[in-house]
């Protein structure tokens, strides 16, 4: 496999975007796409677009946003079994979810909410992950979210919390580089230091996206081009570690196919620049 093929950025594939995404994917050597299992629950078989990608040897990663892994209530088994069915149908090597909760006491937040960064929250996550793993017979990767508030009484920094959860639960890391940038802007910390503190030996894959600034607050809206600052963080990450897979998330405001293709090319180039630095560094040492 050439470096080019191995490092091509894939996309979050959603059924409603197939008309824009499919020609772009067909014109590139994309070796990976991601789907939301919630999008495919009504599908009895693999959508033709994904079947075509699979025939070309692409890997399909299954992502979720409604399992509420950090919630005080046990995950809803209907959803967990739905994720398992979609992962089986697509022969996904792993599934992923967020370090977040989305419901409590029967109420849906319709948004990823941050977890209190406490010992107790780690234990709750571990128990919920056991439930998920009992049905989804493959590795689970956990994603860092962008958050608009923090709970009082945090016992750990976000990086410590992520390292603890990944280490104690044996999970993999889905590192969202845009979320790192967004949080670093909103909470005024160093995104570079945060990346350095991540358990990169457990890295399964990476998300990039672009968001908006609303009333001075950076938001992960997945509605804009990936900003230059996020591409620089991606390059830095790529200079430090192998990135097994990379996915561009776009949920709204989808660009024209040519603009999307240009954006994917820019992301590939950031990845390649980092890779060149890493190779140069390992040769020099």
Binding site for Fe ion (CB under 5 A): 176, 207
206 and 174 in contact (C-beta within 8 Å)?
yes
Give the tokens for residue 206: 């990476």
Distance CA 265, CA 259 (A): 10
Give me the least distance between CB of 112 and Fe ion, in Å please: 9
Give the tokens for residue 139: 């590795």
Distance CA 205, CA 234 (A): 12
Distance CA 82, CA 26 (A): 28
Run of H or E residues at 173: strand 172-176
Give whichever of 79 and 222 is closer to Fe ion, judged by the CB atom: 222
Give the tokens for residue 170: 């044996």
Run of H or E residues at 70: none
For the chain, the 3-state helix, strand and coil shares in percent, each to the nearest 5, are 45, 20, 35
Give whichever of 39 and 155 is closer to Fe ion, judged by the CB atom: 39
Give whichever of 74 and 219 is closer to Fe ion, judged by the CB atom: 219
283 and 46 in contact (C-beta within 8 Å)?
no
Give me the least distance between CB of 145 and Fe ion, in Å please: 8
Give whichever of 169 and 230 is closer to Fe ion, judged by the CB atom: 230
Give me the least distance between CB of 207 and Fe ion, in Å please: 4
Q: Which residue is nearest to Fe ion, using beta carbons? A: 207
Give me the least distance between CB of 249 and Fe ion, in Å please: 5
CB atoms within 10 A of CB 234: 26
DSSP state of 12: B
Give whichever of 78 and 125 is closer to Fe ion, judged by the CB atom: 125
Give whichever of 202 and 207 is closer to Fe ion, judged by the CB atom: 207
Phi-psi label, residue 247: left if phi above 0, alpha if psi -120 to 50, beta otherwise: beta
């Amino acid at each position: 496999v050439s470096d080019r093929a191995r490092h091509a950025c894939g996309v979050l594939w959603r059924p409603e975007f197939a008309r824009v995404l499919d020609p772009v994917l067909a014109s590139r050597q994309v070796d990976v796409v991601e789907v939301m299992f919630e999008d495919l629950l009504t599908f009895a078989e693999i959508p033709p677009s994904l079947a075509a990608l699979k025939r070309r040897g692409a890997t399909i990663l299954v992502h979720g946003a409604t399992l509420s892994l950090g919630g005080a209530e046990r995950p809803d088994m209907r959803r967990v079994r739905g994720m398992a069915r979609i992962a089986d149908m697509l022969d996904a090597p792993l599934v992923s979810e967020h370090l977040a909760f989305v419901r409590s006491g029967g109420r849906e937040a319709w948004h990823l909410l941050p977890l209190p960064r406490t010992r107790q929250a780690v234990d709750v996550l571990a128990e919920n992950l056991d439930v998920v793993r009992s049905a989804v017979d493959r590795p689970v990767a956990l994603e860092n979210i962008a958050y608009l508030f923090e709970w009082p009484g945090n016992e750990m920094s976000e990086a410590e919390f992520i390292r603890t959860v990944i280490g104690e639960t044996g999970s993999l890391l889905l590192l969202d580089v845009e979320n790192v940038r967004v949080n670093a802007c909103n909470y005024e910390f160093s995104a570079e230091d945060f990346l350095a503190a991540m358990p990169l030996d457990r890295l399964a894959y990476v998300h990039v996206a672009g968001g908006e600034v609303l009333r001075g607050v950076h938001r992960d809206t997945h509605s804009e081009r990936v900003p230059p600052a996020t591409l620089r963080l991606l390059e830095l990450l790529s200079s430090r570690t192998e990135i097994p897979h990379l996915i561009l998330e776009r949920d709204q405001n989808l660009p024209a196919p040519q603009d999307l293709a240009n954006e994917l090319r820019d992301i590939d180039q950031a990845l390649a620049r980092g890779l060149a630095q890493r190779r140069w560094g390992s040769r020099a040492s």
